[in-house]
Amino acid sequence: MDYTEITASIRALCHGETDTVALMATVVCEIHHGHPLSDWTGFYRVVGPELLKIGPYQGGHGCLVIPFSRGVCGAAARTGQVQNVPDVEAFADHIACSSTTKSELVLPVWNGAGKLLGVLDLDSNTPAAFTKADEAWLVPLLAEIFEKAS
């Protein structure tokens, strides 16, 4: 996987854009087609107190609504921490939006004002698909791209 190439593409496509949904759609498309192990890539948007709803995604259908109190996405939103789950069956409160998902990486997404916009969710049909290198690449990239998002 070429982090440099995907990053350059995302930066070029998102340059000057501040609309959150437009940014999410673009980021998801590039990551989904660039990460060889991401079988479902999408955003869940914060739409109310302690509530996420599906945003732009690539792959099969996702869950429509996820409360902060449930699942890997909820844990990332609730704690503000990256959730890298190598085996979703071992995650006590995993929500099975797809029966084929084996591992998951979820990252909280904030704008520059510190507002939680949502979470980026990468699901894989491969166990332990996501690495510390994936996290180290995505955390600063998301901060950069969504800095001026509303």
- The 10s digit of each residue's pLDDT in 84-131 is 999 998 887 777 777 789 999 999 999 999 999 999 999 999 999 999
Residue 126 inside a domain? The answer is: yes
Enter the pTM of the model.
Answer: 0.95
Q: Is the pLDDT of residue 76 over 80?
A: yes
Residue 31 inside a domain? The answer is: yes
Distances (CA, A) of 49 to 69, 108, 150: 11, 15, 17
Residue 150: the pLDDT is: 80
Structure tokens at 117: 């916009």
The total number of structural domains that make up the chain: 1
pLDDT tens string 25-67: 999 999 999 999 999 999 999 999 999 999 999 999 888 999 9
94: CATH: 3.30.450.40
Residue 12 inside a domain? The answer is: yes
Q: Is the pLDDT of residue 77 over 80?
A: yes
3-state secondary structure of 28: helix
